[in-house]
Amino acid sequence: MTVTSAYLSGAFLDNWYASDLTQSNRAGLGRWSKEDVATYMKTGRNMHSTAFGTMDEVIINSTQYLSPEDLDGMATYLTSLPAAHDDGEYIYDDATVAVLRGPERKTAQGANLYMQNCESCHVDTGKGYPPYLPPLAGNPPVMDPDPASLINIVLNGSSRLIVDGTPDAYRMPGYRKSLNDQQIADIVSFMRSEWGNNASPVSATQVAGLRALTEQADDRMPTLRMK
């Protein structure tokens, strides 16, 4: 098999962006250990990120049942893939904390909305409470070149992971009904720009596009949406 630079480097699929699985440092697995990868496939969670979207189905129906040997083999393979993107090194920046704790948050785009809707779970440091409430700081999907997954999860929330027969106690709520396109764009742009994430901003037009696509998907396949 001929491996190109696009191999496992991410793609838009089912209204989500399937993340880069190569050793790209920021939006890929470059900062994940073999143990991190195996834990994620077994439980849907690790210290870096949490499964969402159609990846939930992969964890629930497939990878949680793999043997330790198979999990180790897959993790060994994934952590051996050279980086598809030279996206620089992720370095945490704590300047965001001062913005959120000070008067600047009233004028910083998206900061007040973040404090009102996101801070209780993901906290002002952006580090969350992993592995159950994931960090936003340094989280690969937050820094993806394509922001579709972050927009989708803020719009529509996440389903519950079910591991070892036990439903997860935590899930991301959706803000489709309570926030408009510009407000969601402001929050997502804030998440992508702060704590050293330094990813590109998101427009209200992009949010409106995902809002329409996910409404259409729900209309076509209502029985596939996990509650």
pLDDT in tens, 105-140: 988 899 999 999 999 999 999 999 999 999 999 999
Q: pLDDT tens for residues 203-215? A: 999 999 999 999 9
The number of angstroms, rounded, from the C-alpha of 20 to the middle of its chain's C-alpha atoms is 12
Q: pLDDT tens for residues 44-99? A: 999 999 999 999 999 999 999 999 999 999 999 999 999 999 999 999 999 999 99
* pLDDT above 70 (res 1): no
Does residue 141 form part of some domain? yes
Residue among 161, 3, 142, 11 at smallest CA distance from 77: 3
Does residue 41 form part of some domain? yes
Does residue 14 form part of some domain? no
Residue among 165, 150, 127 at smallest CA distance from 200: 150
Contact 214, 156 (CB under 8 A): yes
**Which domain CATH number covers 122?**
1.10.760.10
Does residue 152 form part of some domain? yes
CA–CA distance, 93 with 9 (Å, rounded to integer): 26
pTM of the full structure: 0.91
